Amino acid sequence: MGSSAQEEMRRFWEKNSHSKRPLSPHISIYKWSLPMAMSITHRGTGVALSLGVSLFSVAALLLPEHFPHYLEQLRALGLGPVLIFLGKFSLAAPVCYHGWNGIRHLV
């Protein structure tokens, strides 16, 4: 007959403690460095950009009007130049960072 998961786990830990195997290090023992932070940020911007493109694509397929209609509605809001700049920057910064950091990874 098969053993339970608890018995398997108990045998596993007994075997490891008898053989004096080291445990895998936890993330909290690593010293954060610039390359580590840049790599994590690169992955995060990649995920965010792919989600953004996917959501934009689904919206383009499902919304009843064409893009110029929604662009005109956005212009009708009368947002100030500071908000428009922040919106453009929040779209352009992840694209630029991910692109340049991708080139850095390749080099």
Separation in Å, CA 44 to CA 39, 55, 68, 81, 98 = 9, 16, 30, 28, 9
Rounded mean pLDDT, 49-75 = 92
Domain boundaries, the chain: 34-106
Residue 69 assigned to a binding site: no
Provide the percentage of residues in the chain whose pLDDT is more than 90: 54
Q: Tell me the pLDDT band of 27, cut-offs 50, 70 and 90.
A: low
* Predicted model pTM: 0.65
Answer whether 67's CB lies under 8 Å from 59's CB: no
We find that the CATH architecture of domain 34-106 is Up-down Bundle (1.20)
